[in-house]
Every structure is written in C-alpha cells, then in structure tokens.
Structure 1
Amino acid sequence: MKYFILILLFPVFLYGQANKNIFVGNVMVQWLDDGRSMKLQKQFGYIDQNGKLWNVPKNTVVDGASIPKAFWTIVGGPYEGKYRNASVVHDHYCVIKTETWQDVHKMFYNACITGGTPVIKAKLMYSAVLAGGPRWEISILKDRTGQKIIVDKEANITADEMKAVKEWIETTNPSIEEINARMEGIVIETYK
C-alpha cells in the first residue's frame, strides 16, 4: 500500500520540481524613444527555487538601471549575455519594491543561473548589484493606518574595489554567503 501511494504521488513531486527555476514566457519588448528603455509587450516572469512567481506585467518599462552603469565595463551591460531575462525581472522588482532588496538581488543571481549564465559570471553580476544596485528599507507604520513606507538607500564602492572583487570571485569561486560578507564589509550605504 505504501508503495502504491508513493507511485501515485511521484508525478506530483516531479511536476512541482519541474516548475521551479524557470522563466515563464518570453521577453517581448518595444524599444522606447529614449534609446535605453523598453516596454514589455507580454507578461513575463520567473519562478524561483522555492516556487515563488516573480511576475512582470505587460506594459512594464525597464531600463537596465538595476545593474550599475559604472560596472558595465567590468561585468557587462543589462541587455547582453544570458542574464538579460534576469535583468528584466530584477529591474521591475527594484522599482516596485514589494520584496526586500536582499531577496530581489538573490533572485537575480538565481535567475542568471537559470538563464544559462555561467556561475562565476552570475556571481560577478550579483556582486555588482550588491555594490551599486538599488537598496531600500520597508517599514510599516505602527499607527491605525498600517501604511507601508519605503526608504531608498544607495550603495557605493569604487571601481577599483569592484575590480578587486571581480578578481577574487574569478580566482576563488566563493559562496554567495562569502560574497555577501565581503560586500557588506566594503559597501558604503547611505540614505537618499
């Protein structure tokens, strides 16, 4: 009887596993007149390893700004390479700020891997968004309104520090936790 139940549940398990770490749909965009922004023509999304859907609605405008421009020469621009789809989802969540910046940046790393970005390159991209990408703090007012307030922050390191991080990642292949610890020690965070 136990084996019969396991056989029945196995396809459900496989279905759940198969629908994680995948992109949902294709990025279909219209380039806008500013030369950098693009508007999604269809809904797009990413399902992470926990089964969470990171949805980007149709008509969302993205511009690649979540990958710091100062680091494009070190890690690459937002619309090139196999991390392009990840940058679309990351851009959107850096604008709407419904999740913590830490979760959004970690999703970006995982989405890069899902899109076929080599692990070392994905770690470089992740370190770049930690170094200069958007940050915010979400607070809920304790009064009767329960209003959510978002406070924007800036993260900054120098290009020389980022080059040293790049070399460190390329030569040692550190874990994400090690990258977080190193970046925490060198990033200067200020309120906007």
Structure 2
Amino acid sequence: MDENFGQFSGEPKTEWIDGIGGNRNMKLLEEFWYKDPAGKLWIAPKDAIIDGASIPRALWSIIGSPFTGHYRRASIVHDVACNDPKIPREDADKMFHYACLADGCSKVQAWILYAGVRIGAYIDFDKRTRLDMVEDETTIDLTESNIQETYSEIISELNESHDKLSFNIVDGIVKQQLMNKHSNLLLS
C-alpha cells in the first residue's frame, strides 16, 4: 500500500544572509510549498527568512544540524508556519510530521522529530522557561544535559511504542517527560 504523505514543490532555492542570526539564516529566492495529505497548501513565500530546523544546539548530536537530514525541506514550511500568528502551533507541528515523511524520514524518525518540535512548543529555549504547561510559569534551569537527557528518554519511549504512536500519544509522552523533569528539578 502506497501512503500519501503529501508533496513538495521541488527543491528550495535559497541564499545565505550574512550577519543575521549568527550566519544561520537563509532567504528563499522563490516560493516553496508543501501540500499535506489533506490537500492543504503550506506556502513559504519568496523572500521568507528561514533558519533551518529549529533544533536546539543541545540536540544537534542526537538529531542532526539544522540544514541536514530528511527534514530539511519540512523545516522550511514549518519555520514559516510557526511565525504566522493565524496558524496554531499544533497544526504547524502536525504538518511538519507529515512533511518529514514526505521528505523521506522513516515513521519512527518522523515521530522523534515531531516530539522535538512539540518540546519547542512548550519550552522557550532562549529564556530557559517552561511554557503552557506550568500554571505558575515556574522558571526551570534547562541545561544542555537536562535537554539531552529528557529528549533521550522521550526517544526511548517512542522507540518502544513505535507501532502504536499517534499525535495524542506522542504529545502525552512529551508532556509527561517535561513534567517529570520539572518535578525532579524542583525537588533537587
């Protein structure tokens, strides 16, 4: 059975932008899009500024760097969608999952990458705080090793459950692991 994960418009045409964002930013030279399995078109317009997959530096050794891997094209439309206030972050993250599959990721790898962007939805890595999950907006110290440890635990759970993963299950695993890390940090 051939599964439809959507399709991309082709290969993105980009140029590096010097001096902005630590030399990690690129500009799209022409429109680039992804059509998801439901037929929705996710457009990254010409001149959009992108920074590759928004992978925290602490996870580069686990996942890969922002401009490598079968998630590279998916990251472009995800970047643009996440910066559009009209698009709910959860919708952008689900699209990213399907776009990773369309770009050649295995199902397990796509779930692992989806878990990574869901972590990004809950945590502001620049401010090192938990968002949306802790009602008192408690600040926690998310060291590089805390982030790596938590993500490794999530990956382990995903690998154990890979046959029965869904958006709800992966979101539950991510939330539980982040809450566990939050509780452990408060107790220490």
Common fold, TM-score beyond 0.5? yes
| Structure-1 separation of matches of 2:16 and 2:122 | 23
Residues 1:171 and 2:160 are matched in the alignment:
yes
| Structure-2 separation of matches of 1:103 and 1:88 | 15
Task: Tell me if structure 1 keeps the 8 A contact 2:53–2:76.
Answer: no
TM-aligned CA distance change 1:79 to 1:115, over 3 Å:
same
- Please state whether the residue corresponding to 2:42 is helix, strand or coil: strand
Aligned length: 155
The aligned counterpart of 1:126 is: 114
Deviations along 1:32-77, one digit per CA (max 9) or x if unpaired, are: 1132110000100111111110000000010136333332222222
Aligned mate of 2:86, from 98, 119, 134: 98
Give the drift of 1:135. Answer: 7.7
- One-letter amino acid of the counterpart of residue 185, structure 1: Q
Runs of 4+ in 1 over 4 A off after TM superposition: 133-136, 153-157
| Structure-2 separation of matches of 1:97 and 1:135 | 18
Q: How does 1:27-42 map onto structure 2 within 5 Å?
A: 27-34=12-19, 35-42=23-30
Deviates more, 1:59-68 or 1:97-106: 59-68
Give the drift of 1:178. Answer: 1.3
- Please state whether the residue corresponding to 2:111 is helix, strand or coil: helix
CA RMSD of aligned residues (A): 2.6
| Structure-2 separation of matches of 1:135 and 1:54 | 24
Aligned mate of 2:150, from 128, 142, 161: 161
- One-letter amino acid of the counterpart of residue 179, structure 1: V
The aligned counterpart of 1:112 is: 100
Please, which runs of 5 or more residues in structure 2 have no aligned partner? 125-130, 134-141, 180-188
Normalized per residue, the structure richer in strand is 1
Aligned mate of 1:57, from 40, 45, 53: 45
- Of all paired residues, the percent bearing the same amino acid is 32
The aligned counterpart of 1:186 is: 177
Deviates more, 1:25-34 or 1:39-48: 25-34
The aligned counterpart of 1:80 is: 68
Flag the structure with larger Rg: 1
| Structure-1 separation of matches of 2:123 and 2:157 | 24
| Structure-2 separation of matches of 1:94 and 1:119 | 22
Please, which runs of 5 or more residues in structure 1 have no aligned partner? 1-18, 137-152
- One-letter amino acid of the counterpart of residue 162, structure 1: Y
- Please state whether the residue corresponding to 1:96 is helix, strand or coil: coil
| Structure-1 separation of matches of 2:157 and 2:119 | 14
